[in-house]
Structure 1
Amino acid sequence: MKKNDLPLVYSCSGCSSAAQTANQVAIKMDREKIAEMSCIAGVGGDVKPLVRTAKSGRDIIAIDGCPLACCKSCLARHDVQPKHHFDLSKFDVPKHLGEDPDPQLVQNAYNQILEDIK
């Protein structure tokens, strides 16, 4: 499959353990060629090439660490709706400031997301 045929994946990447869980899931999806990760900060910051990518018509997977849904909101600023949106708090991923993500919770969230997008 060509890279442009893959869905795009965007993730929260804030400072909490939940945000970094979302980021690690997205990175894993990118590295395993499930999706191509792009930069949500660039979309939220109106960086033209990154907004063009988001608006390219490819399927989008948005992964937020918590119900604040920053990732989904950055896309919505440009009238982009993800095909799939995940809030990791619904997968029992806790949000702790100043803590690294639990590797088992990263794997669990990854597995659930893969199951849901199939």
Structure 2
Amino acid sequence: MEVKLKKANLPLVYSCSGCSSAAQTANMVAIKMDREKIAEMSCIAGVGGDVKPLVKTAKSGRDIIAIDGCPLACTKSCLARHDVTPTYHIDLSDYDVPKLKGKDPDPENVDNVYNTVLELCATQ
């Protein structure tokens, strides 16, 4: 029997969504987590832009997975503006994901990062 968690019981996932291949890798991993119902993706731009319903979601007390494409840590910084610390913070540069401007993410990197994020969240 498969058990489906209600959205409110899932962790939130936020990702970088900049223009580099690393940023889009982060975004694709978060989308995949959302579609697989491992986490509920929410909008980091809305949090950074002080959109009240999205800030309320971020401050709801749910576990948060923040995925950044590079050490600039825009996702983590947007959350910090509202005194929210992610439960898990993943910087893809720590996993040798290249940051290439004007390039699409490598599907192999997306799969590898996805599996790495799942392992990190399961062991911490």
User: Is this a same-fold pair by TM over 0.5?
Assistant: yes
Q: Which structure has the larger Rg? A: 2
* Count, aligned residues: 118
Which of 67, 80, 95 is residue 76 of structure 1 equivalent to?
80
Q: CA RMSD in A?
A: 0.3
Structure 1: 4+ residue segments shifted above 2 A:
none
Which runs of structure 2 are paired with 1:1-118 in the superposition (5 Å)?
A: 1-118=5-122
Q: 2-side partners of 1:92 and 1:103: how far apart?
A: 14
Q: Which runs of 5+ in 1 are unaligned?
A: none
The residue type equivalent to 1:94 in the other structure is P
Query: Which secondary structure does the structure 2 equivalent of 1:90 belong to?
Result: helix
* TM value normalised by structure 2: 0.95
* Percent of residue pairs identical: 80
Q: Which runs of 5+ in 2 are unaligned?
A: none
Q: 2-side partners of 1:103 and 1:89: how far apart?
A: 16
